Amino acid sequence: MPYYNQTTRTMKTRDSNLGYALLGQLHQDPSSGYDLRKIFTATPLAHFSDSPGAIYPALNRLRRRGWIEPVPGEAPSGRRRQVLRPTAAGRRAFRNWLLGAVTREDVVRGLDGLVLRLAFMSGAVRPVEIAAFLRSLRDAVRAYLRELEQFLRAEQSRMSLTGRLAFESGLEGLRAQIRWAEHALRRLRGLGSSKGSRP
């Protein structure tokens, strides 16, 4: 029975958004776990959890992967705090995460991960790449939206009133994201580029 329809696939175990959020934050400003926690509780990054039981383990995972390291120098003096910063490998991994293709799955499971990526792009990737990302984000959302609209047309009659309302909530959310992406692209274009096409 040597027939393998069973895909031999590589346990692709999607890393968590929290991990990348931490890594990105350290990118912008090396700090201790405690500092990060404060930042996460005080900002909308709280969306990705702010409990020590999530943050410290996540930091240790990043360290075990060699993506972050304690900055030496200020080792065991004064308080016990450990300032962390990304390693070269960490910076590479982060960049790869930022530049990865936008998949349908990313959209179906919620745009949070994608928006998080965008948030950290300034300074880490070139404006051209940011624009490309926004365009493919917009296109992926559009494609999914069209899928859903088609589904709605087909099933509408079998759906309850609140079922339809809930569905429309999703549609409106996606439409808002498309408009936002267009707007963001205009803002990007209005910048830096000396290629302005105004007469």
| Interface contacts to DNA, rule CB under 7 A | 5-19, 32-35, 37, 48-49, 51-54, 56-61, 78-82
Closest CA to 93 of 35, 15, 32, 12: 15
Task: Pick what 10 binds: DNA, its own copies, none; C-beta below 5 to 8 Å, kind-dependent.
Answer: DNA
Which residues fall within 8 angstroms of residue 155, CB to CB, at 6 or more apart?
none
Nearer to its own copies, 143 or 165 (CB): 165
- 182 is an interface residue for its own copies by CB under 8 A: no
In the list 43, 51, 103, 150, the residue contacting its own copies (rule: CB under 8 A) is 43
- 29 is an interface residue for its own copies by CB under 8 A: no
What is d(CA 156, CA 178) in angstroms, rounded to the nearest whole number? Answer: 23
Nearer to its own copies, 34 or 180 (CB): 180
Backbone angles phi, psi at 189, to 5 degrees: -65, -35
Q: What angle do CA 144, 150, 152 make, to 5 degrees?
A: 105
CA dihedral 29, 119, 103, 155 (to 10 degrees): 140
- 95 is an interface residue for its own copies by CB under 8 A: no
Task: Pick what 60 binds: its own copies, DNA, none; C-beta below 5 to 8 Å, kind-dependent.
Answer: DNA
- Residues forming a β-bridge with 68: 86
Task: Pick what 16 binds: DNA, its own copies, none; C-beta below 5 to 8 Å, kind-dependent.
Answer: DNA
Which residues fall within 8 angstroms of residue 94, CB to CB, at 6 or more apart?
20, 23, 24, 27, 67, 86, 120, 124
- 143 is an interface residue for its own copies by CB under 8 A: no
**DSSP characters over 101-160:** PPPHHHHHT-THHHHHHHHTTTTTS-HHHHHHHHHHHHHHHHHHHHHHHHHHHHHGGGS-
Nearer to its own copies, 72 or 123 (CB): 123
Six-digit token string for 44 = 């909308």
Shortest reach from residue 85's CB to DNA, in Å: 13
Nearer to its own copies, 85 or 164 (CB): 164
In the list 156, 168, 182, 196, the residue contacting its own copies (rule: CB under 8 A) is 168
- 167 is an interface residue for its own copies by CB under 8 A: yes
Taking CB under 8 A as the rule, which mask of x and - marks residues 97-136 in contact with its own copies? -----------xxxxx--xx-xxxxxx------x------
